[in-house]
Structure 1
Amino acid sequence: MRSYDSLSDHDFELLIADLLGAEDDVVYEAFARGADQGVDLRRLTSTGLDIIQCKHMLKSTYPQLKSAAAAEAKRLAALSLSTWQYRFVTSQSLTPRRKSDLAKILSPWISRDDQVLGADDLEGLLNRHPEVERAHIKLWLASAAQLDERLHAATWARSRQLHTEINAWLPRYVENQSFWEARKRLRAERVLVISGPPGIGKTTLARMLLADAAVDGYKPIEVSTDIDEAFEIVNDHDARAFYYDDFLGSTFLQDRLAKNEDKRLASFMRRCSSSANNLLVLTTREHILQQAVSWYEELELAGLPIRRFLLELSAYTRFDRARIFYNHIWHSKEATDTVRRALLDDDAYLTIIDHPNYNPRLIEYITGLTGPGLDAESRVDYLAFALGVLDNPDRIWERAFTQQLDEHGRALLIAVAITGTPIVVDDARCAFESLLAFRGDAPSQHDFRSALRVLDDSFLRSSEQSEETFIAVVNPSVEDFVANWLARNPDVAMAAINSAVFFEQLMWLYGRLKSAEKVRALVRTALLNGVQRCFESKNPAWGDVRWSGSTRKHKWREPTRYEDRLVFVHSLLSTEGGIALSSWFEEKLDATASGWRNHVRDPSRPVKLINALRQAGYPVSLHVIEAARDGLAKANYTYAWSELAKLRTMTPEAFPSHINQKLVASCEECINGQLIDPTDIEDEDELYSIRQSAEAMGAWNPGLKDLYARAADSIHERAEEADEPDDNEPDRNSPSMSPAAEHAAITALFARLEESLSQDG
């Protein structure tokens, strides 16, 4: 039996209009109604009106449905209509006896039991008209067994969390033309970059596309750290939909893509574009996307701006905005009768729908569905509260932060937010205790648990993954708020810097506070001390990994990336001074270089570090460059050879003739082995990168050309054998309305709130 729990009463009526319209091959229109009318859908026929009354009363009992039917009978008696056909439709399951009871209550307008339709009747109609269910995306996703099966599959570690999130926001989602346009482009182009301002609904749209793809047979895969996670599991045989949220980050764009991720990301985009089995959805803020395209030629060559789907407020019609607000109010337990009456007085809901700062994230907040909820004061003067948030969106969290959180709650929120990544409970506790200890407080284990309990599902969100509990801010606006709060409160900012336990916290703080005049001078000295204290700290970020022989993804702590930390420290020294750190910096650089001789985890990082230091005028010693050279040569795979060629171009003094000849010979041997057995080469794009690496090293020769051609044929044959997923394209176009018709539709929509108040007494 299908579930209608994700539908509001208005969603249910639109479904019934389409469903009975398909069954009868006619078109029904929604009728502008209020609390004194008994008509939801109608059409005019040659013999009179055909009227349908819809009753979608979530979690209601049968006696309540009977009472509602009796109320409808009174309304019908007041309507002077001579000839008509009347049907009563409910989402409740009805036995034959209950149908007869309802028919008697609604007599003489209903003369036959089959004019009363319950959930079982709707089940049969939906089975006969699957195109209607497919066009109503909320019902389709909520009822699709395939979605539940896909999201519980062991191949995706975060499936349970996604399932929880979908169940939470699907009822509030409003299907609009943006979804269908984005879906059409994604299925045609295979890659879609959703960009737009904060809070506009990018993540929601991306997850809807991901869930929709899962129902069509794609395995959903979330990329949480960088695109290497996708490269590890992509192939051309299984249908997979990859989702990379906020892929350029909210700050530190240059650091986010500094490890050649621009090239690997561009390569992955090209791979998905040419594959019948892979989809890629990415989200980012629009201004950061524009910076990325201007900074990184690879992203522009990959068509990043062309693949952009810009989501703006203008994408939502006035009626879309009204439906979004209505759905949030309808599903919110926080929206009491007092709140609803405040919205109905003088059509006050229009001031929210038409507010210039309207966006879905703020609507979530003012309806109590995210954040700390609505307190008694907010409910008493709800309109003032809601308009206050919309007038000052940057202060969305401030009232709850200052008035509803104690000192421990604020400390835990700051400790988690400045880390800039989801962190495990033990790391959160460590950061929390360090911040309070700096202030002279000694919290107990109970204090941490109590603070977390208050913040969970308001400012923070916890999730279980790979037997670890992770804590993160509930959405990016919380980080924005914490940054602004610290910029206005120097004492708190200094405490955060001086108590930092992770180096990445210092990087976050510098990036967010370096332009804040009120705290910049104070931050400078504290950071120079902090980088020495935290340089050896573990990395608080966790990534996904698959153990050998396992299909499941597991969480593991990301390694400490000393190269990135040294780049940051040198940048800090160059801009903020700090000559006293020179000997310390040299010591850490030498220690990092010594590690390269044993193992280079990421070939791009030594090259990036040496390049950044040389461009800044730092005299990198020859033994540091030689350590990078030897470590890259020992890695002995395509990407390492490519980075080694860059290092040779950058520092030819470290590549004397006899050493260069040995390196070229080793590269040629490695490439030859890959081409003889191309089993591990996933696609033509990867094959071409192998050739590029050989050419860059000077190891490409005529003897490799035949091997290259045979490898290309083998990869092409594999691609042709791959099964293709179902990419059906439902026909769904949002009808356009005149301003007058749109206003009438909004008025009719919110009249339902008045009706619900009258039913509740």
Structure 2
Amino acid sequence: MNNYNFATLNDEEFEEICKDLLREELGLDFRTYKKGRDKGIDLSYINGEKKIIGQVKHYPKSKFSDLKSTLKKELEKVREENFEKYILITSLDLTVNQIQEIMIVMNGVIKSEDDIYDLKKINTILQKKENEWIEKKYYKLWLSSTTVLNRIINNAQENNIEYYIDEIERKLKLYVVTENFNKALEILNKTNMLLIHGEPGAGKTVLAEMLIYRYLDKGYKLKFISGNKIKDLEEIMSNNKEEKEVIFIDDFLGSNFLEMFTQTSENKLVFFLKKYLNKECKKVILTTRTIIYNKAIQQSEILNRFSIEFEKYKLEVTSYNMIDKAKILYNHLYFNEIPKKYKKKIKDEMAYSKIVKHRNYTPRIIEFFTNVRRVLQIDPSMYINFIFKNLNNPSEIWKNEFENKISDEERFLIYTLFTFQGNIDKYILRNAFEDRYNYEIRNNNFTRIQNAFDKSLELLSKGFIRVIRGMNEKNIIISFINPSINDFLMNYLKNNIDEIKRIVCSVTYIEQLEVFKTNSVIRQSTYVNNEVKKLIKNRLIGGFKNIETYKVDKNIYILEMIILLYNNDSTMREFIKDILYSFIKNESIGSKQNLNLLIELLENKNIVLSDIEDLYKKEGIIQKGEKIILNKIQHIENFVKYTKMIKSMISYEDVLALFNKEYLAHTVDRLCEQAISDFCNEISFINECGFENKNNELYFDYNEAENLLECNFHRYKENIFFDYKEELSYFLLYERMKNSMETLFDLYYKENILEAMEDIWNEIHKANVTNKVIKVYQEYKGKSSSDRYNYKKYESEEEQIFNMFNRL
């Protein structure tokens, strides 16, 4: 018979169990209240005039005096509430005198001592046979059983592994039961062996340890090693073939797994695994990093043959869903005794939402920044910065793997993939890798390995790299398995100027230089020095004809690079003019993008206005450069950028001549019409124009659509003119342009836009959408009694996470 102390549960988990217990005990369907608005109420049941409320107090490390103090405060909250019964549930083990003290403190709010549920009473209810399902539902409840704990401790003492079990117990509180646990248990029960693989920091070892804990309770003895020291494991195994043992080999291929690849070693490993596969009394649990496993299978013929067997034992630990991520973070903050002032920062700034959504989230990083000793060394005001510094640069997770566990060819492939921002077509990646590899062979004395690309890709597959196959066999995308690898490399390269040079000199595609264009960390770092800039210039201009492109316009891309990296550099004037002339020839010079580039090149002093005049002379157009550009401008953004530039390049008299009244009138209308057109292209509120009638039928509300349209257009217009007020006022255009845009919108555009919105809305909402909550409720009504209690009122992920962290 199990007795529970609930020490492994956080407050939310304890509250959920109490809700299910009261449902079973009283036959009433209680619901929970959101924290922060509960008015002293955690649970409630309301049926007509009948109202029962409950307060749940989970105090695993507190004293009775703490409970009393809290109840005095709660009394003031609930005194004005109208209810038939008030129930108190606490995880403290209360004496008869303490229960009587509570009755006095609550001053008639609690009507009977029977309405106080303490540790003993909760355990009595849980021990009823009809409530066995609750223990199955809440795995961590089982882990908090004193009977289980004592059984495992005795087992540990007999096998001299108390220190190891202590470490597992520490992790129990932090553990969140995910679908991986149930999958792993199913594989282990069916096959007696489980291979857990995944990325560094994904939670492989913790999952293995939770499984071990379960088997220790069933009387299994733990035998474990780390790495591939099979001989050591055999020496500690029992001679009794019928003795129940759970065998745990953490990092089973070993951190120095290449040393294992002698025929003797691999035979020993495979022989050992096969020896225990068919023995019901032996359970084998293995963990390894995916990259190590893939390399071992490729390099070992024996393991390769055995890998077919491995398929039915494998479980890959991959990413967690948002709720599981939130629970992992919450448990670390709850159980690690983080001072309130630090948790308050996370709660008040809602940093938890950004943390669980962060692309580099792993349990290992969460463990790092919730370590209480580490936290106490940080000022509370800097705690959020500390968290995101580690999330944004998770270098320690990947550094050891990258430096010590892979070959040069594999590193070349990783660097090449990095230049494509970690995601690219396999064919393109192969071409770029081959050029990088040829460069290394020519310049750094590397010896070619046959099929280096395919071998490297296979070895890195899933460990660093993910291979995504489309429906078409030729459509294969290669990406990093985790975005944190890209971030790691970005920071790793900051201290490696030699590698930067090798990347620049060996690129195949112009897009590979994107990392220097879009990544401010790299671009602004000191190692993008004049020498590196010179290399990029030579690659862009000297190799212009042979550098390839697969998605961007080569000319535009090069101009963007020049603007970004070569301020006040006129040495490329003739090269730039050739590109601009091609724009003039194909009549693309007037596009918003190309005009921006042209203006920025002038601002950057890469070219001058007379260069524009020279180019148009070739086409028979003789006109001032400033006039030529102004005639091409269609967008307010271009116009403002241009006015800023032109004021510094020509005299005030020439500016007045350029912006004469007649010309400005024409320009204003042109710019305003384009701005309204741009607004139409950005409309995103059409779905908000629908409402339900009395028959629950959706319809397009024209008046609401008109209000939304006018409101959004006004906001759009104000944003434009707020940003550009100074420059437009210089030419006395601010009020004039605002009025012109309003007039054009009201007279010529609004009605047409509303008609188009209605057509689009009707197209989207042809079929009525069933109400989600009704559907969930109908599913709930069809469930059996115990299944119903697994039902949770529909809430969005955001709401669930908000309510969870509102408890901090």
TM-score normalised per structure 1: 0.50
Which residue does the alignment assign to 1:312? 318
Alignment map for 1:333-344 (pairs within 5 Å): 333=337, 335-344=338-347
Which residue does the alignment assign to 2:369? 366
Deviations 1:577-630 (A, max 9, x none): xxxxxxxxxxxxxxxxxxxxxxxxxxxxxxxxxxxxxxxxxxxxxxxxxxxxxx
Secondary structure (helix, strand or coil) at the match of 1:185 reads helix
Measure the CA separation in 2 of the matches of 1:41 and 1:390.
37
The one-letter code matched in structure 2 to 1:263 is N
* 1:121, distance to aligned residue in structure 2 (A): 0.9
Which residue does the alignment assign to 1:525? none
Which residue does the alignment assign to 1:392? 393
* 1:136, distance to aligned residue in structure 2 (A): 3.0
2:52–2:83 Cα contact (<8 Å) kept: no
The one-letter code matched in structure 2 to 1:332 is N
Q: Which stretches in structure 2 are left out of the alignment for 5+ residues?
A: 400-483, 498-526, 528-785
Measure the CA separation in 2 of the matches of 1:213 and 1:393.
34
* 1:300, distance to aligned residue in structure 2 (A): 4.3
2:266–2:303 Cα contact (<8 Å) kept: yes
- Aligned in 2, Cα 1:338/1:154: closer, same or farther, shift over 3 Å? closer
Secondary structure (helix, strand or coil) at the match of 1:172 reads coil
* 1:104, distance to aligned residue in structure 2 (A): 4.0
1:244 aligns with 2:249: yes
Larger radius of gyration: 2
Measure the CA separation in 1 of the matches of 2:225 and 2:46.
53
Alignment map for 1:402-481 (pairs within 5 Å): none
Which residue does the alignment assign to 1:749? 804
Measure the CA separation in 2 of the matches of 1:162 and 1:485.
35
* 1:48, distance to aligned residue in structure 2 (A): 3.6
Which residue does the alignment assign to 1:329? 333
Asked which structure has the greater RCO (Cα within 8 Å, sep 6+), the reply is 1
- Aligned in 2, Cα 1:67/1:200: closer, same or farther, shift over 3 Å? same
- The one of 254, 258, 263 aligned to 2:262: 258
* 1:156, distance to aligned residue in structure 2 (A): 6.7
1:389–1:395 Cα contact (<8 Å) kept: no
Deviations 1:666-720 (A, max 9, x none): xxxxxxxxxxxxxxxxxxxxxxxxxxxxxxxxxxxxxxxxxxxxxxxxxxxxxxx
* 1:142, distance to aligned residue in structure 2 (A): 3.6
Alignment map for 1:632-651 (pairs within 5 Å): none
1:156–1:221 Cα contact (<8 Å) kept: no
* 1:86, distance to aligned residue in structure 2 (A): 3.0
Measure the CA separation in 2 of the matches of 1:180 and 1:393.
29
Measure the CA separation in 2 of the matches of 1:294 and 1:396.
24
Which residue does the alignment assign to 1:348? 351
- Aligned in 2, Cα 1:60/1:255: closer, same or farther, shift over 3 Å? same
Aligned residues: 423
1:33–1:748 Cα contact (<8 Å) kept: yes
The one-letter code matched in structure 1 to 2:221 is K
* 1:134, distance to aligned residue in structure 2 (A): 4.9
The one-letter code matched in structure 1 to 2:172 is L
- Aligned in 2, Cα 1:213/1:385: closer, same or farther, shift over 3 Å? same
Which residue does the alignment assign to 2:101? 101
Identity between Structure 1 and Structure 2 (%): 28
Which residue does the alignment assign to 2:278? 274
Which residue does the alignment assign to 1:454? none
Measure the CA separation in 1 of the matches of 2:327 and 2:253.
31
Deviations 1:707-741 (A, max 9, x none): xxxxxxxxxxxxxxxxxxxxxxxx99996989943
The one-letter code matched in structure 2 to 1:219 is K
Alignment map for 1:581-596 (pairs within 5 Å): none
Measure the CA separation in 2 of the matches of 1:397 and 1:384.
21
Which residue does the alignment assign to 1:228? 231
- The one of 296, 299, 302 aligned to 1:295: 299
Secondary structure (helix, strand or coil) at the match of 1:223 reads strand
1:151–1:159 Cα contact (<8 Å) kept: no
- Aligned in 2, Cα 1:45/1:733: closer, same or farther, shift over 3 Å? closer
Measure the CA separation in 2 of the matches of 1:737 and 1:122.
22
2:345–2:380 Cα contact (<8 Å) kept: no
Measure the CA separation in 2 of the matches of 1:107 and 1:180.
47
Alignment map for 1:559-574 (pairs within 5 Å): none
1:284 aligns with 2:288: yes
- Aligned in 2, Cα 1:94/1:159: closer, same or farther, shift over 3 Å? same
Secondary structure (helix, strand or coil) at the match of 1:289 reads helix
Deviations 1:213-261 (A, max 9, x none): 11012111113452334444255411111111011124x3321343534
The one-letter code matched in structure 2 to 1:281 is I
Which residue does the alignment assign to 2:511? none
2:192–2:284 Cα contact (<8 Å) kept: yes
Measure the CA separation in 2 of the matches of 1:346 and 1:197.
30
- Aligned in 2, Cα 1:151/1:57: closer, same or farther, shift over 3 Å? closer
Measure the CA separation in 2 of the matches of 1:150 and 1:206.
16
1:35–1:751 Cα contact (<8 Å) kept: no
Measure the CA separation in 2 of the matches of 1:83 and 1:746.
30
- Aligned in 2, Cα 1:392/1:262: closer, same or farther, shift over 3 Å? same
* 1:193, distance to aligned residue in structure 2 (A): 0.7
2:198–2:317 Cα contact (<8 Å) kept: yes
* 1:750, distance to aligned residue in structure 2 (A): 1.1
TM-score normalised per structure 2: 0.48
* 1:144, distance to aligned residue in structure 2 (A): 4.5
Q: Which stretches in structure 1 are left out of the alignment for 5+ residues?
A: 399-476, 491-517, 519-730, 754-761
Measure the CA separation in 1 of the matches of 2:803 and 2:330.
11
- Aligned in 2, Cα 1:120/1:341: closer, same or farther, shift over 3 Å? same
1:58 aligns with 2:113: no
2:197–2:290 Cα contact (<8 Å) kept: yes
Secondary structure (helix, strand or coil) at the match of 2:247 reads strand
Which residue does the alignment assign to 2:381? 380
Secondary structure (helix, strand or coil) at the match of 1:260 reads helix
* 1:54, distance to aligned residue in structure 2 (A): 0.9
* 1:40, distance to aligned residue in structure 2 (A): 2.3
- Aligned in 2, Cα 1:223/1:155: closer, same or farther, shift over 3 Å? farther
* 1:93, distance to aligned residue in structure 2 (A): 1.4
Secondary structure (helix, strand or coil) at the match of 2:285 reads strand
2:195–2:313 Cα contact (<8 Å) kept: yes
Which residue does the alignment assign to 1:91? 91
1:357 aligns with 2:360: yes
Q: Which runs of 4+ in 1 moved over 6 A?
A: 484-490, 731-739
* 1:83, distance to aligned residue in structure 2 (A): 4.7
1:151–1:162 Cα contact (<8 Å) kept: no
Secondary structure (helix, strand or coil) at the match of 1:373 reads helix
Alignment map for 1:535-574 (pairs within 5 Å): none
1:125 aligns with 2:125: yes
1:32–1:744 Cα contact (<8 Å) kept: no
The one-letter code matched in structure 1 to 2:113 is D
